[in-house]
Amino acid sequence: MDDLRANGAHIVGMPDVRFHIADGHLRPDDATLELVGATRPLLEAVVRARLRALPAVGFLEGHDARGLVTTADHTRVTGVRLRERSTREERSLEANLVVDASGRGSPSSRWLADAGYEPPPEERFPIGVHYTTRLFQRRPADLDGCRHVVSSVPPDGRRGGFSVAVEDGRWLVTLVGVLGERPPTDLAGFVDYARTLASGDLHELVDGATPAGAASTGAFPAYLRRRYDRLRRFPGRYVVVGDAVCSFNPLYAQGMAMAARQATVLGQVLDRRGHERIGATFFRRTRPLIDAGWTLATSADLGHPEVDGRRTLGWRLLNSYVGRLFRVAHRDAAVANAYLRVVSMTAAPSSLFHPRIAWRVLTGITTGDEPAPEPSPRAPAGPRATA
């Protein structure tokens, strides 16, 4: 955090956040909750610099991993086959442990099949997310000094967005569409799209702002979970982590938090068990963590009537409870804090049912010293992204 701040990143506390959700906005006051406002290049540069400073870490650049090296009976991974990009020359790199952190496009399923193993079964949950990001020059008076805005996609709509103050005096603004809705890349279309959001904050921010570069786009067709935890056979000294195991809807910002939590578990398993059978132990230990993240995110998406998925009785009860929770969180800082700790993955989802929180949610009784709720600002009537 200190390195990021020193390089211009914003460390944003809850007083500088506007979180619009469920026709209102949350009012957290937890001083321990902070987020980093930084572009991806800055974040990755700082992480890379810290890794390079470790004497035991080396980088082998300009190479691609082409496959696994195993023992003759394929029971243990002993390294990775590499190909140098410029010369196309291949060689093997020996290793006591191989970790696949290559993301959603991970080749591990194919590599396991090549070694005679059953590839993991896959679960998909279509959501059809598209997003467009633009940078703008930031004016100190923007939004009365607010540094982070979230405008959630409402259950009856397909559009949302968020913004955060980042280094070099800029705003990073991302507009989002679900179920195939595509935010435009041209400046005029971007501003018009922001006008249709449930909250007027993002339109106020971008209308008349000075762009700081061209737009970039991204897409996320579906959640993807590879169920390595269900495999009966898995080679020793090999493990798969992060988005290579499970990739989440980027709107909920779970990916890096989930990967960091998995990295912590991997370190614990190595310290206690060593290298042998690390994969099976790791997948078993991280299954509850991934289950919780998957359930939390997909349950929220099922709140949209056009999302395809099973809406069980359990989901209906949970959805009803969360709906009440939001209404209370609009005026109760304690409930808002509890919710944001869960979505930031610093607390388990079960904490939302702690008696102290459940009492407030189910009765609507708060401490009485919360600020009166303000209506979520809405832009003038215009085209809405409803089906």
Q: What is the percent of the chain with per-residue pLDDT over 70, rounded to a whole number? A: 94
pTM of the model: 0.86
Alpha-carbon distance of 284 to 278, in angstroms, equals: 10
In this prediction, residue 310 carries a pLDDT of 85
In this prediction, residue 333 carries a pLDDT of 93
| Residue 386 pLDDT > 60 | no
Residues of the chain with CATH 3.30.9: 12-32+124-221
Residues of the chain with CATH 3.50.50.60: 60-120+227-301
Distances (CA, A) of 126 to 178, 292, 309: 10, 18, 9
The answer to whether the beta carbons of residues 8 and 167 sit under 8 Å apart is yes
Q: Please state whether 79 falls in left (phi above 0), alpha (psi between -120 and 50) or beta.
A: left
Region 223-232: what's the mean pLDDT?
A: 95
Three-state DSSP class for residue 128: strand
- The pLDDT-based confidence of 367 (bands split at 50, 70, 90) is low
In this prediction, residue 273 carries a pLDDT of 85
The answer to whether the beta carbons of residues 287 and 229 sit under 8 Å apart is yes
| Residue 318 pLDDT > 50 | yes
CATH T-level topology, domain 60-120+227-301: FAD/NAD(P)-binding domain (3.50.50)
Nearest to 234 by CA among 81, 95, 119: 119
Which is more confidently placed, 343 or 226? 226
**CATH class of the domain at 12-32+124-221:** alpha beta
